Amino acid sequence: MTGLVALLTSILTITLRAGTSLIFGTVGEIYTERSGILNLGIEGMMLASAVTGFGVGYYSDSALLGLVVAACMGGLLAAVHAFLTVTMRANQVVSGLSITLFGTGLASFLGERLGPATNNHSLVGLIGPRFSPLVVPGLSQIPVLGALFRQDPLTYALYVLVPLAWYYLYRTRFGLNLRAVGESPLTADAMGVDVIRIRYLYTILGGMLVGVGGAHLSLAYAPGWTENLTGGRGWIVIALVIFAMWNPLRAVLGAILFGGINAVQFRLQAGGTTIASAYLNMLPYLITILVLVAMTWWEALSHRVGAPAALGVPYIREDK
Protein backbone atom coordinates (compact mmCIF):
# COMPACT_ATOMS: atom_id res chain seq x y z
CA MET A 1 0.00 0.00 0.00
CA THR A 2 2.71 2.44 0.94
CA GLY A 3 4.44 1.38 -2.25
CA LEU A 4 1.40 2.33 -4.30
CA VAL A 5 1.08 5.70 -2.56
CA ALA A 6 4.77 6.38 -3.17
CA LEU A 7 4.36 5.45 -6.85
CA LEU A 8 1.30 7.68 -7.28
CA THR A 9 3.05 10.54 -5.51
CA SER A 10 6.11 10.25 -7.71
CA ILE A 11 3.97 10.01 -10.86
CA LEU A 12 1.97 13.11 -9.93
CA THR A 13 5.16 15.01 -9.05
CA ILE A 14 6.84 14.28 -12.37
CA THR A 15 3.62 14.76 -14.33
CA LEU A 16 3.13 18.29 -13.03
CA ARG A 17 6.76 19.09 -13.66
CA ALA A 18 6.60 17.71 -17.21
CA GLY A 19 3.30 19.48 -17.89
CA THR A 20 4.35 22.96 -16.69
CA SER A 21 5.90 24.14 -19.96
CA LEU A 22 2.87 22.79 -21.81
CA ILE A 23 0.41 24.60 -19.52
CA PHE A 24 2.18 27.95 -19.95
CA GLY A 25 2.25 27.49 -23.70
CA THR A 26 -1.36 26.32 -23.93
CA VAL A 27 -2.81 29.10 -21.79
CA GLY A 28 -0.84 31.59 -23.90
CA GLU A 29 -2.09 30.13 -27.17
CA ILE A 30 -5.67 29.99 -25.84
CA TYR A 31 -5.56 33.74 -25.20
CA THR A 32 -4.08 34.35 -28.65
CA GLU A 33 -6.67 32.19 -30.41
CA ARG A 34 -9.52 33.69 -28.36
CA SER A 35 -8.70 37.00 -30.05
CA GLY A 36 -9.05 35.31 -33.45
CA ILE A 37 -5.35 34.88 -34.23
CA LEU A 38 -4.00 31.39 -34.91
CA ASN A 39 -0.29 31.23 -34.08
CA LEU A 40 1.48 28.11 -35.35
CA GLY A 41 4.87 29.56 -34.41
CA ILE A 42 4.86 28.09 -30.87
CA GLU A 43 7.62 25.53 -31.50
CA GLY A 44 10.02 28.16 -32.85
CA MET A 45 9.09 30.67 -30.15
CA MET A 46 9.66 28.13 -27.38
CA LEU A 47 13.08 27.22 -28.78
CA ALA A 48 14.19 30.83 -29.23
CA SER A 49 12.99 31.67 -25.71
CA ALA A 50 14.65 28.62 -24.20
CA VAL A 51 18.04 29.48 -25.67
CA THR A 52 17.94 33.21 -24.88
CA GLY A 53 16.59 32.50 -21.38
CA PHE A 54 19.40 30.09 -20.69
CA GLY A 55 22.04 32.37 -22.25
CA VAL A 56 20.99 35.41 -20.21
CA GLY A 57 20.68 33.27 -17.08
CA TYR A 58 24.16 31.87 -17.66
CA TYR A 59 25.86 35.27 -17.98
CA SER A 60 23.86 37.10 -15.31
CA ASP A 61 23.74 34.08 -12.98
CA SER A 62 20.07 34.93 -12.44
CA ALA A 63 17.41 32.48 -13.54
CA LEU A 64 14.79 35.18 -12.97
CA LEU A 65 16.43 37.60 -15.42
CA GLY A 66 16.70 34.74 -17.91
CA LEU A 67 12.98 34.10 -17.48
CA VAL A 68 12.10 37.76 -18.10
CA VAL A 69 14.22 37.91 -21.26
CA ALA A 70 12.74 34.61 -22.48
CA ALA A 71 9.23 36.03 -22.04
CA CYS A 72 10.28 39.13 -24.00
CA MET A 73 11.71 36.92 -26.77
CA GLY A 74 8.41 35.06 -27.02
CA GLY A 75 6.54 38.37 -27.03
CA LEU A 76 8.83 39.79 -29.72
CA LEU A 77 8.30 36.89 -32.12
CA ALA A 78 4.55 37.03 -31.41
CA ALA A 79 4.62 40.75 -32.22
CA VAL A 80 6.12 39.92 -35.61
CA HIS A 81 3.28 37.46 -36.15
CA ALA A 82 0.74 40.07 -35.05
CA PHE A 83 2.19 42.66 -37.42
CA LEU A 84 2.09 40.24 -40.36
CA THR A 85 -1.40 38.91 -39.68
CA VAL A 86 -3.26 41.83 -38.11
CA THR A 87 -1.75 44.82 -39.87
CA MET A 88 -0.59 43.23 -43.12
CA ARG A 89 -3.46 40.67 -43.07
CA ALA A 90 -1.14 37.88 -44.16
CA ASN A 91 -2.28 34.26 -44.07
CA GLN A 92 -2.02 33.23 -40.41
CA VAL A 93 -0.99 29.64 -41.12
CA VAL A 94 1.85 30.69 -43.40
CA SER A 95 3.02 33.40 -41.03
CA GLY A 96 2.94 31.04 -38.04
CA LEU A 97 4.89 28.35 -39.85
CA SER A 98 7.46 30.95 -40.89
CA ILE A 99 7.84 31.95 -37.24
CA THR A 100 8.49 28.31 -36.34
CA LEU A 101 11.11 27.92 -39.08
CA PHE A 102 12.73 31.21 -38.18
CA GLY A 103 12.66 30.57 -34.42
CA THR A 104 14.16 27.09 -34.78
CA GLY A 105 16.99 28.38 -36.95
CA LEU A 106 17.56 31.40 -34.72
CA ALA A 107 17.78 29.15 -31.65
CA SER A 108 20.40 26.88 -33.28
CA PHE A 109 22.35 29.92 -34.43
CA LEU A 110 22.31 31.64 -31.03
CA GLY A 111 23.20 28.36 -29.32
CA GLU A 112 26.37 28.20 -31.41
CA ARG A 113 27.28 31.90 -31.12
CA LEU A 114 26.28 33.20 -27.69
CA GLY A 115 28.51 30.90 -25.64
CA PRO A 116 31.80 31.85 -24.03
CA ALA A 117 35.03 31.53 -26.03
CA THR A 118 36.22 28.82 -23.63
CA ASN A 119 33.38 26.60 -24.87
CA ASN A 120 33.94 27.30 -28.57
CA HIS A 121 31.22 30.02 -28.42
CA SER A 122 28.62 27.32 -27.88
CA LEU A 123 25.98 27.26 -25.15
CA VAL A 124 25.70 23.47 -25.35
CA GLY A 125 26.86 21.59 -22.29
CA LEU A 126 27.13 24.59 -19.96
CA ILE A 127 25.70 24.64 -16.46
CA GLY A 128 23.73 27.73 -15.50
CA PRO A 129 21.34 28.89 -12.79
CA ARG A 130 18.01 27.12 -12.45
CA PHE A 131 14.68 27.14 -10.66
CA SER A 132 15.05 24.22 -8.27
CA PRO A 133 12.06 22.49 -6.68
CA LEU A 134 11.07 24.02 -3.34
CA VAL A 135 9.61 21.47 -0.95
CA VAL A 136 6.95 23.00 1.32
CA PRO A 137 7.40 21.59 4.83
CA GLY A 138 4.33 19.81 6.17
CA LEU A 139 2.10 20.04 3.10
CA SER A 140 4.50 17.99 1.00
CA GLN A 141 4.03 15.06 3.40
CA ILE A 142 0.34 14.59 2.49
CA PRO A 143 -0.01 11.26 0.65
CA VAL A 144 -0.24 11.68 -3.15
CA LEU A 145 -1.37 15.34 -3.10
CA GLY A 146 1.89 16.26 -1.39
CA ALA A 147 3.26 16.13 -4.94
CA LEU A 148 1.64 19.54 -5.46
CA PHE A 149 4.10 21.00 -2.98
CA ARG A 150 7.36 19.59 -4.31
CA GLN A 151 7.56 21.78 -7.40
CA ASP A 152 9.68 24.59 -8.77
CA PRO A 153 8.56 28.24 -8.51
CA LEU A 154 7.26 28.30 -12.09
CA THR A 155 4.88 25.43 -11.38
CA TYR A 156 3.73 27.15 -8.17
CA ALA A 157 3.03 30.25 -10.27
CA LEU A 158 0.59 28.17 -12.31
CA TYR A 159 -1.56 27.54 -9.22
CA VAL A 160 -2.40 31.26 -9.31
CA LEU A 161 -2.14 31.92 -13.02
CA VAL A 162 -4.53 29.25 -14.31
CA PRO A 163 -7.57 30.15 -12.13
CA LEU A 164 -6.83 33.81 -12.81
CA ALA A 165 -6.69 33.18 -16.57
CA TRP A 166 -10.05 31.41 -16.37
CA TYR A 167 -11.65 34.12 -14.25
CA TYR A 168 -10.34 36.90 -16.47
CA LEU A 169 -11.64 35.22 -19.61
CA TYR A 170 -15.14 34.35 -18.38
CA ARG A 171 -15.96 36.74 -15.55
CA THR A 172 -14.53 40.15 -16.45
CA ARG A 173 -15.43 42.78 -19.01
CA PHE A 174 -11.92 42.56 -20.51
CA GLY A 175 -12.36 38.84 -20.99
CA LEU A 176 -15.76 39.42 -22.60
CA ASN A 177 -14.23 41.93 -25.02
CA LEU A 178 -11.50 39.43 -25.88
CA ARG A 179 -13.99 36.65 -26.56
CA ALA A 180 -16.18 39.01 -28.57
CA VAL A 181 -13.27 39.94 -30.84
CA GLY A 182 -12.59 36.25 -31.47
CA GLU A 183 -16.24 35.41 -32.15
CA SER A 184 -17.35 38.41 -34.17
CA PRO A 185 -14.90 41.26 -34.63
CA LEU A 186 -17.46 43.25 -36.60
CA THR A 187 -19.92 43.26 -33.69
CA ALA A 188 -17.19 43.97 -31.18
CA ASP A 189 -16.03 46.88 -33.28
CA ALA A 190 -19.58 48.22 -33.46
CA MET A 191 -19.71 48.04 -29.67
CA GLY A 192 -16.64 50.25 -29.51
CA VAL A 193 -13.99 47.57 -28.86
CA ASP A 194 -10.67 48.25 -30.60
CA VAL A 195 -10.22 44.98 -32.52
CA ILE A 196 -6.71 45.73 -33.78
CA ARG A 197 -5.45 46.71 -30.35
CA ILE A 198 -6.98 43.64 -28.67
CA ARG A 199 -5.51 41.28 -31.26
CA TYR A 200 -2.03 42.78 -30.88
CA LEU A 201 -2.28 42.76 -27.11
CA TYR A 202 -3.30 39.13 -26.67
CA THR A 203 -1.04 37.77 -29.40
CA ILE A 204 1.93 39.36 -27.65
CA LEU A 205 0.72 38.32 -24.18
CA GLY A 206 0.22 34.77 -25.43
CA GLY A 207 3.71 34.82 -26.94
CA MET A 208 5.18 35.89 -23.61
CA LEU A 209 3.52 32.96 -21.84
CA VAL A 210 4.84 30.62 -24.54
CA GLY A 211 8.28 32.12 -23.87
CA VAL A 212 7.94 31.31 -20.17
CA GLY A 213 7.04 27.76 -21.18
CA GLY A 214 10.25 27.54 -23.23
CA ALA A 215 12.26 28.97 -20.36
CA HIS A 216 10.82 26.36 -18.00
CA LEU A 217 12.54 23.72 -20.14
CA SER A 218 15.98 25.32 -20.21
CA LEU A 219 15.93 26.83 -16.70
CA ALA A 220 14.05 24.27 -14.63
CA TYR A 221 12.98 20.98 -16.17
CA ALA A 222 16.01 20.08 -18.28
CA PRO A 223 18.46 22.82 -17.24
CA GLY A 224 20.90 23.76 -19.97
CA TRP A 225 20.76 24.19 -23.71
CA THR A 226 20.81 21.38 -26.27
CA GLU A 227 19.74 21.82 -29.85
CA ASN A 228 16.06 21.11 -30.45
CA LEU A 229 15.43 20.99 -26.72
CA THR A 230 11.65 21.21 -27.11
CA GLY A 231 11.41 18.06 -29.24
CA GLY A 232 8.03 18.99 -30.73
CA ARG A 233 6.38 20.27 -27.53
CA GLY A 234 5.30 23.40 -29.41
CA TRP A 235 3.15 21.26 -31.68
CA ILE A 236 1.68 19.42 -28.70
CA VAL A 237 0.57 22.83 -27.39
CA ILE A 238 -1.40 23.44 -30.57
CA ALA A 239 -3.16 20.09 -30.20
CA LEU A 240 -3.75 20.83 -26.52
CA VAL A 241 -5.62 24.05 -27.28
CA ILE A 242 -8.16 22.05 -29.26
CA PHE A 243 -8.18 19.33 -26.63
CA ALA A 244 -8.92 21.96 -23.98
CA MET A 245 -11.63 23.47 -26.17
CA TRP A 246 -10.11 26.93 -25.59
CA ASN A 247 -10.63 26.79 -21.82
CA PRO A 248 -7.60 27.42 -19.53
CA LEU A 249 -8.84 25.01 -16.83
CA ARG A 250 -9.21 22.11 -19.22
CA ALA A 251 -5.74 22.94 -20.54
CA VAL A 252 -4.35 21.75 -17.22
CA LEU A 253 -6.05 18.39 -17.59
CA GLY A 254 -4.73 18.01 -21.12
CA ALA A 255 -1.19 19.08 -20.24
CA ILE A 256 -1.08 16.63 -17.36
CA LEU A 257 -2.30 13.88 -19.66
CA PHE A 258 0.14 14.74 -22.46
CA GLY A 259 3.03 15.45 -20.09
CA GLY A 260 2.26 12.53 -17.85
CA ILE A 261 2.05 9.85 -20.52
CA ASN A 262 5.83 9.56 -20.88
CA ALA A 263 6.47 9.84 -17.17
CA VAL A 264 4.03 7.01 -16.51
CA GLN A 265 5.16 4.71 -19.28
CA PHE A 266 8.86 5.22 -18.46
CA ARG A 267 8.04 4.36 -14.84
CA LEU A 268 6.16 1.23 -15.83
CA GLN A 269 9.09 0.18 -18.02
CA ALA A 270 11.61 0.91 -15.27
CA GLY A 271 9.52 -1.25 -12.95
CA GLY A 272 9.78 -4.07 -15.46
CA THR A 273 6.15 -3.98 -16.63
CA THR A 274 5.29 -4.84 -20.19
CA ILE A 275 3.22 -2.16 -21.84
CA ALA A 276 2.51 -1.23 -25.40
CA SER A 277 3.99 2.25 -25.19
CA ALA A 278 3.07 2.99 -28.79
CA TYR A 279 -0.64 2.93 -27.94
CA LEU A 280 -0.12 5.00 -24.81
CA ASN A 281 1.80 7.60 -26.81
CA MET A 282 -1.04 7.78 -29.31
CA LEU A 283 -3.73 8.36 -26.68
CA PRO A 284 -3.61 12.17 -26.31
CA TYR A 285 -3.66 12.72 -30.07
CA LEU A 286 -6.49 10.24 -30.43
CA ILE A 287 -8.54 12.16 -27.87
CA THR A 288 -7.77 15.42 -29.72
CA ILE A 289 -9.14 13.91 -32.93
CA LEU A 290 -12.24 12.71 -31.08
CA VAL A 291 -12.83 16.21 -29.71
CA LEU A 292 -12.57 17.62 -33.24
CA VAL A 293 -15.00 15.03 -34.57
CA ALA A 294 -17.44 15.63 -31.72
CA MET A 295 -17.40 19.37 -32.36
CA THR A 296 -18.13 18.85 -36.04
CA TRP A 297 -21.03 16.53 -35.32
CA TRP A 298 -22.86 18.39 -32.64
CA GLU A 299 -23.27 21.94 -33.69
CA ALA A 300 -24.74 22.87 -30.32
CA LEU A 301 -21.59 21.69 -28.62
CA SER A 302 -19.45 23.62 -31.04
CA HIS A 303 -21.37 26.82 -30.23
CA ARG A 304 -20.76 26.38 -26.53
CA VAL A 305 -17.20 25.12 -26.42
CA GLY A 306 -15.91 25.28 -29.99
CA ALA A 307 -13.24 27.33 -31.69
CA PRO A 308 -13.68 31.11 -31.76
CA ALA A 309 -15.82 31.74 -34.85
CA ALA A 310 -13.43 34.30 -36.34
CA LEU A 311 -10.28 32.25 -35.71
CA GLY A 312 -7.87 32.69 -38.60
CA VAL A 313 -9.93 35.34 -40.36
CA PRO A 314 -8.27 38.74 -40.87
CA TYR A 315 -10.39 41.68 -39.81
CA ILE A 316 -10.89 44.36 -42.39
CA ARG A 317 -12.65 47.40 -41.04
CA GLU A 318 -14.88 48.87 -43.68
CA ASP A 319 -14.65 52.58 -44.24
CA LYS A 320 -17.61 54.40 -42.93
Q: Which stretch binds other proteins (CB under 8 A): 68-76, 117-125, 239-247, 307-315?
A: 117-125
Q: Least distance to other proteins from the beta carbon of 171, Å?
A: 35
Among 60, 184, 226, 302, binds other proteins (CB under 8 A): 226
Q: Where are the beta strands (DSSP E) in 106-162?
A: 134-135, 150-151
Among 63, 217, 257, 295, binds other proteins (CB under 8 A): 217
Q: Least distance to other proteins from the beta carbon of 204, Å?
A: 26
Please report, for residues 85, 197, 278, the alpha-carbon distance to residue 188 in angstroms, rounded to integers and kept in the order given. 19, 12, 46
Q: Least distance to other proteins from the beta carbon of 122, Å?
A: 5
**187 touches other proteins (CB under 8 A):** no
Angle, helix 153-171 to helix 173-183, in steps of 10 degrees: 80
Q: Which of helix, strand or coil describes residue 35? A: coil
The Cα–Cα gap between 19 and 252 comes to 8
Among 39, 49, 230, 288, binds other proteins (CB under 8 A): 230
Q: Least distance to other proteins from the beta carbon of 296, Å?
A: 31
Among 1, 160, 276, 300, binds other proteins (CB under 8 A): 276
**104 touches other proteins (CB under 8 A):** no
The three-point CA angle 200-48-11 to 5° equals: 100
Among 124, 135, 293, 309, binds other proteins (CB under 8 A): 124
Q: Which stretch binds other proteins (CB under 8 A): 66-74, 259-267, 288-296, 305-313?
A: 259-267
The Cα–Cα gap between 320 and 144 comes to 61
DSSP label of 132: -
Task: Count the alpha carbons within 13 Å of 238 in the hemisphere toward its beta carbon.
Answer: 17
**277 touches other proteins (CB under 8 A):** yes
Q: Least distance to other proteins from the beta carbon of 143, Å?
A: 17
The Cα–Cα gap between 57 and 45 comes to 18
The Cα–Cα gap between 134 and 149 comes to 8
The three-point CA angle 217-218-222 to 5° equals: 65
Judge contact between 57 and 214, C-beta under 8 A.
no
Q: Least distance to other proteins from the beta carbon of 42, Å?
A: 16
Among 117, 278, 300, 316, binds other proteins (CB under 8 A): 278
Choose between 6 and 145: whose C-beta lies nearer to other proteins.
Answer: 6
**272 touches other proteins (CB under 8 A):** yes
Q: Which stretch binds other proteins (CB under 8 A): 53-61, 191-199, 214-222, 248-256?
A: 214-222
Listed in sequence order, the residues at least 6 apart from 15 whose beta carbon sits closer than 8 Å to its beta carbon are 256, 259, 260, 263, 264
Among 271, 316, 319, 320, binds other proteins (CB under 8 A): 271
Q: Least distance to other proteins from the beta carbon of 9, Å?
A: 10
Instruction: State the burial class of residue 62 (Cβ atoms within 10 Å of its Cβ: 0-12, 13-18, 19+).
Output: middle
Q: Around Cβ 315, how many Cβ atoms within 10 Å?
A: 18
**102 touches other proteins (CB under 8 A):** no
Among 141, 172, 187, 228, binds other proteins (CB under 8 A): 228
Residue ranges that bind other proteins, judged by CB under 8 A: 10, 14, 18, 108, 111-112, 122, 124-125, 217, 221-224, 226-231, 233, 262-263, 266-267, 269-272, 274, 276-278, 281
